[in-house]
Structure 1
Amino acid sequence: MALDSAGNLYVGNWFASTIQKFTPSGVHSGFATNNISGPASLAFDPAGNLCVANYWGGTVVKLAPDGTGWIFASGMSYPNGVACDHAGNVYVACAGSSTIQKFTPSGVGSVFVSGLSSPLLGGLACDSAGNLYAECQQNQPIIEKFTPNGVGSVFVSNGYAEPSGLVFDSSGNLWAANYGDNTIEEFAPNGSLLLHINTPYSPYGIAVQQVPEPVSVTLVFLGTAIFLMRYCTVFR
């Protein structure tokens, strides 16, 4: 899922292969179906286009604000996460090849990081400095940080059970949806834990309203049903 600058929420429907749009008041409409095949992760680029990682299609599709779409990148092995930096570069986690691919704004691709152990669904995010954060499965699930030139280090390693969604808020703090133990957590830029919240279900994706304050957190839960919830509001 991803929020645009106007507060509209976009959600990938994996089973129906569609992108759904929800206004801030909760009004729902279909946004896109063409070239969508197993949308696993969504992210906005600096131009306001929505990037969609198609797990089954092996592609990244870009959707303009009016829903017009085009294939931005193809030929990937099970892309299951996508993130964009402020320069317009697009990063794609590929479960089938255990790599993260990098695409320039013009679509030129290269291997950014290789040899990862099964990147999980949805776990990519870029901070304002251009560092990339990815949830990876090593001996245990971790969140790893990569500099713009691909140098990696462990950002968070303790207390995780399948983090499945990452997003930054306007203060530069990283939020993680932790699918394996029904929690969401907030981390400072140095990796220290700021907030730990238990949820009644398994959060599979997360979006954070950037402005205005207070921070509003929306989750998508997987269980006996799939549903959205504006889960909590955090006052500073």
Structure 2
Amino acid sequence: MDDQSLAKLPFNLKIIPINDTGFPIGIPFIAMFNPENFTIHEDIDWLANCPPGAQGANLKYKGTKPRTFTLEFTIDGTGVNTNGVKIPVTAQVALFRAATTGVRGALHKPAFLLVQYGLFICTCALNSSNVTYSLFDFTGLPIRAKISASFTEHTVPTLSDILGMLSSPDLTHYKTVKEGELLPVLTNEIYNNQLYYLQVAKVNKLKNFRKLQAGTKLKFPPIDSNNGSSKTQTS
């Protein structure tokens, strides 16, 4: 592989098999070429309540489904990107399958995956993959192919616990107000209950909590869920 390709390699698409706790357990697959297409799909479940004889519906939030995403990238066996060294396409496909679909003896299932491309990092599971061969040598062996793979986001329990701790109402949080944000909405994000917004306004000595100024840094103290009072001093 030439120096230019080696320099770019750390930024290439990586698919790393991990166990249930997020620890790498196998050889990662590193794409020779970065994705040609990268699609992220998100679904929100709304429960539509439409009274008989009425038009339209009152939507109630039910939940947010895990993200799904699809990657399409090319693998090549002509040596065009490896300084003339021809890595068989069949070998590259085998490495991809070993990382994504191979059943792990200790897990008795395919591994979860950590997919990283640029700033996108996601723990996930493979849903499906397609390999389309598009160029062959005189013996009929493929020398170029395109892989299209779809994944579903999966939160590793250990990571979920950490995120839960970071959003715990038993910890003090600080948040910088953005344009148009409302105090009850921000309070609900922190405590999962917007009714505490008056306590938050008192702690931050807000004169007009109905119109927050963008750039203001707000303190969200621990809340005693038994009586709804702040556990910290308001001074």
TM-score by length of 2: 0.21
Give the strand-richer structure, 1 or 2. Answer: 1
Task: Give the number of the structure with larger relative contact order, counting CA–CA contacts within 8 Å between residues 6 or more apart.
Answer: 2
Specify the structure having the higher radius of gyration (Cα): 2
Give the helix-richer structure, 1 or 2. Answer: 2
